[in-house]
Amino acid sequence: MATKAPIRFGAIGCGGAGTDRIMQLAKHAMGVQVVAAVDINPDRLDNLEKRLGYGVTRYTGPEDYRRMIDEAGVDAVGIFTPHLLHYDHVKYALQQKKHVLIEKPMVCGTAKAVEITRLLESTGKVGIVHYQRHYEPKFVKARELILKGAIGEVTNFYVYMAQDWAGREWRSDPALSGGGQLNDSGSHYQDILLWMTDLLPKSAEGFADCWHHDGPRQVEIDSMHHIELSNGAHGRMIIVGDILGGFQDDVRIRGTKGDLMFYGNKVLMRPHGGDIQEVPCSLPKGYPISPCDNFVKLIRGRCRQNRVPFLFGVRVALLTEAMLQSAHQKGTRILCSEVLKKAKLALKDIA
């Protein structure tokens, strides 16, 4: 039971993801009161209030996130809006010194992602990107194994994810989507590769098309890239939006000593020349169970480690930018150092 005054929370964007995150926060044992919400679709606010079982201060204008942050007395803000709106929303929330939970992809474009991260650092507030795979036992275990050298130095990888991604509503609008499926669900797989290996992206070369079985779209649906990481490891990243039916993924990492891969929720390892072994995995004691849990506990001072700091949003923004540039330039190899240079940044800014 909460012993302190509840954290006063305001949400920007109350669609599918927003409602799910807001409900997780509202149910958190350490006390979160959802006091306000903004969505340009009033039906979404009706639904949210129904789910919460109580009313919130409602805002419905496209710029009303400012009014909500100014007027509603919130301590913390959740940003669950279309991708290219994230930058304005998070920037204003941080300028007004609010804690921020932000959906992926954090902010589109490396320069803006670094700007927001520096702004967050200047406030001393909590900022988490909602990459929920950082809380899944299999990925947590895989990162631990890779970082302690269980498969040796990472040399290669294969990352594949496919989903019937029709690009509904804003997702296929280039002015809101910021890069189609590669920037949407694909963002998780760029993140998980960079997070598990703790390496930085070095270059990307590949292609994308805009074809879904329901017809052409104006944003990237399927893509395939060859990616190089900062230690020279290289591999393939295939992000598909045009599959018939359900979700699939396959992530394999090769090191100098062996391979690591997944089967459902299992982590499998195979030393070179040896047999496949299953590695038991569960979250370490005290590990938060979700980004929402981590967010509340950090604000409450009940845990110290932020498992998805904005830095990971920056690294993904850089890789996404390189992948998109390459796809738009007929597969030219794009060096991340050049992307950084154009943004007047250097590797040290994302290290």
Ligand X SMILES: NC(=O)c1ccc[n+]([C@@H]2O[C@H](COP(=O)([O-])OP(=O)(O)OC[C@H]3O[C@@H](n4cnc5c(N)ncnc54)[C@H](O)[C@@H]3O)[C@@H](O)[C@H]2O)c1
Residues engaged in binding ligand X (CB under 6 A): 12-18, 38-41, 44, 62, 65, 80-83, 85, 103-104, 130, 132, 169, 184
**How near is the Cβ of 234 to ligand X at its closest, in Å?**
27
Q: Closer CB to ligand X, residue 23 or residue 335? A: 23
Q: Closer CB to ligand X, residue 42 or residue 216? A: 42
Q: Closer CB to ligand X, residue 35 or residue 229? A: 35
Q: Closer CB to ligand X, residue 31 or residue 82? A: 82
253: closest CA among 197, 202, 200? Answer: 197
Count CA atoms closer than 13 A to 118's CA, side-chain side: 9
**How near is the Cβ of 291 to ligand X at its closest, in Å?**
8
**How near is the Cβ of 320 to ligand X at its closest, in Å?**
12
Kindly give the residue spans of alpha helices, DSSP state H, lying in 54-210.
64-71, 86-95, 110-123, 137-147, 174-177, 180-183, 185-197
Kindly give the residue spans of alpha helices, DSSP state H, lying in the chain.
16-26, 42-52, 64-71, 86-95, 110-123, 137-147, 174-177, 180-183, 185-197, 291-300, 310-328, 336-342
Q: Closer CB to ligand X, residue 104 or residue 212? A: 104
Instruction: State the Cα–Cα distance between residues 200 and 177, nearest whole angstrom.
Output: 24
Q: Which residue is nearest to ligand X (CB)?
A: 15
Q: Closer CB to ligand X, residue 63 or residue 250? A: 63
**Burial classification of residue 325, based on how many CB atoms lie within 10 Å of its CB (0-12 exposed, 13-18 middle, 19 or more buried):** middle
β-partners of residue 261 are 252, 268
**How near is the Cβ of 14 to ligand X at its closest, in Å?**
6
Q: Closer CB to ligand X, residue 92 or residue 157? A: 92
**How near is the Cβ of 242 to ligand X at its closest, in Å?**
18
Helix (H) or strand (E) holding 14: none
Instruction: State the Cα–Cα distance between residues 209 and 214, nearest whole angstrom.
Output: 14
291: closest CA among 101, 83, 26? Answer: 101
**How near is the Cβ of 101 to ligand X at its closest, in Å?**
11
**How near is the Cβ of 61 to ligand X at its closest, in Å?**
8
